[in-house]
Structure 1
Amino acid sequence: MSIGNSPEDERPFEDVPQEARPSIGRALRQARIAAGLTVDDVSSATRVRIAIVHAIEADDFAPCGGDVYARGHIRTLARAVHLDPAPLLEQYDAEHGGRPAPTPAAPMFEAERIRPERRGPNWTAAMVAAIVAVVGFVGFTAFKGGDDGRTQVAEDAAPTSAKPASPTPGSSKPTDQKPEPSDSAIAAAPQDKVTVQVSAPDGQSWISAKDHNGRVLFDGLLKKGESKTFQDSDKVNLILGDAGAIQLYVNGKKIEDQFQPGSVERLTYTKGDPQVG
């Protein structure tokens, strides 16, 4: 004879029959109430927007922006209300077709390797240097022709004393021009493409990036201090899981949108001046 709870009373959450198991949203709501927390308390502690917390507790995961973000919000909310997230995630995967497979990041790395080969500022610097050298040579020649006395002195002194004056302007100008393209690799992006740089200077966020054909360029967690660059001939579609932690540069220009912490933003950028699609 056993005294106390029977082994059946201590079965883990996942052994409960599917039809008797509460929904994910109901389980989170009951745990929140049991912990004496309000929706505002949970939102402040997790940085998940109040509207998303309400939606998840109602088993509506559409506002999350995808399975990756829904699983992340479930995990975050479960921990905030002192609930084990593992059974809830397994239940979510079972109800939504299984856990999403990680997206390989090879296209992203390949794009970053190709970008330096496409930059063309070196040609511009070379043309500027050539023009400056020609202008300097013409000016020096005119100076020599306008004063016969000085011309004679220059010729009698030594050929080497006059020649350095011509290449000197050309040699100094390229040195001044070279740093320009290194100020920002994005600013030198081709005009016939759209270039988007996503960075997380103060936090981390899940991001998803696709090209105009819907091909996934990146889908994963951008950690604090990391930066990703995407380029396409037409447009780049973005989903930001925590837009408040993200800084955007589009075609070399900083996007000044004041995104709220924890907000999920869907953005589209095209060629030309930055504009949200």
Structure 2
Amino acid sequence: MSIGNSPEDERPFADVSEEARPSIGRALQQARIAAGLTVDDISTATRVRIAIVHAIEADDFAPCGGDVYARGHIRTLAKAVHLDPEPLIARYDAERGGRPAPTPAAPLFEAERIRPERRGPNWTAAMVAAIVVVIGFVGFTMVKGGDDGGKAQVAEGATPTTGTSASPSARATKKPADPKPDPTDSAIAAAPRDKVTVQVSAPDGRSWISAKDHNGRLLFDGLLEQGDTKTFQDNSKIDLVLGDAGAIRLHVNGKEIQDDFRPGAVERLTYTKGDPEVG
């Protein structure tokens, strides 16, 4: 009979650090309780619905609607309870096989191709020459008027300075002033008609938003803070996802969207060229 440790005693100790570490939902719940906040308090502060907060704290991310929305909710809830969101998101990605490689973001506006510089007419020199000609003509007219015994010379098309009223023909040549364009019309005219332009702003709160072009490329994925504005443009279509549609104001092709979005509601919208339509 040998004296020594049995084979069971020589087995390596199990790493209990991973088991001791709380899950994502448990970590958020513990931080919320430590901060003295209720689920209603967190829902009001973050505009994440109460049902979703309960589900995340129970490690059920299905109600979030996908990994993109789940990451956004985890980040928002972690910040609300003063918790660093990056370790939680990294753990979420690790438990689901890693985060997919991000798609390069498309530029906000299509870059124009660099064209060779074309030397056009020197308009500056032409304008200077025209001004010199006008000044010379006015000076010549004044000098000629003095030589003729002080008779006033009325330039063609000018209004006479005498007390007599202007002739009907002179009054007929006056063109009425162009009406000033309405600010709304100007905003619509500024949006290109051959593209779809979507402006997203958060005047009264903050919301997570996601925007994609017609090819499905990701233009933006993140939190829109209060007072921030983002503008997206594409040749044919913009797909939007609003984490809190009630905090968002939309302008599509220069027109404000008047839909009655509820606070905390997640909205998926699609806009195309022409009159704005909710997809």
Q: TM-score range by the shorter chain?
A: 0.5 to 0.7
TM-score (norm 2): 0.60
Q: Secondary structure at the match of 1:70?
A: helix
Q: Decide whether the 8 Å contact of 2:104 with 2:217 is kept in 1.
A: no
1:222 paired with 2:219, answer no
**In the superposition, relative to structure 1, how do residues 229 and 75 fare at CA in structure 2: closer, same or farther (>3 Å)?**
closer
Match in the other structure for 2:273: 271
Letter in 1 for 2:57: E
Match in the other structure for 2:235: 233
Point out where structure 2 has 5 or more consecutive residues left out of the alignment.
Answer: 1-14, 113-153, 159-166
Match in the other structure for 1:59: 59
Match in the other structure for 1:202: 204
Letter in 2 for 1:217: L
Question: How far apart, CA to CA, are the structure 1 residues paired with 2:258 and 2:220?
Answer: 23
Match in the other structure for 2:107: 107
Match in the other structure for 1:40: 40
Q: What is the CA-CA distance between 1:265 and the residue it aligns to?
A: 1.9
**In the superposition, relative to structure 1, how do residues 198 and 80 fare at CA in structure 2: closer, same or farther (>3 Å)?**
closer
CA RMSD of aligned residues (A): 3.7
Q: Secondary structure at the match of 2:270?
A: strand
Q: Secondary structure at the match of 2:265?
A: coil
**In the superposition, relative to structure 1, how do residues 31 and 198 fare at CA in structure 2: closer, same or farther (>3 Å)?**
closer
Comparing 37-46 with 231-240, greater Cα deviation is found at 37-46
Letter in 2 for 1:64: C
Q: Decide whether the 8 Å contact of 1:52 with 1:64 is kept in 2.
A: yes
Q: Decide whether the 8 Å contact of 1:194 with 1:236 is kept in 2.
A: yes
Match in the other structure for 2:26: 26
Match in the other structure for 1:211: 213
1:169 paired with 2:175, answer yes
Point out where structure 1 has 5 or more consecutive residues left out of the alignment.
Answer: 1-14, 115-156
Q: What is the CA-CA distance between 1:184 and the residue it aligns to?
A: 4.0
Cα deviation per residue 1:176-212 (whole Å; 9 max; x = unaligned)?
Answer: 35x4578543444344433222112223333221122
Question: How far apart, CA to CA, are the structure 2 residues paired with 1:229 and 1:189?
Answer: 11
Q: Secondary structure at the match of 2:262?
A: coil
Letter in 2 for 1:245: A
**In the superposition, relative to structure 1, how do residues 247 and 91 fare at CA in structure 2: closer, same or farther (>3 Å)?**
same
Match in the other structure for 1:243: 245
Percent identical across equivalent pairs? 74
Partner of residue 253 from structure 1, selected from 244, 252, 255: 255
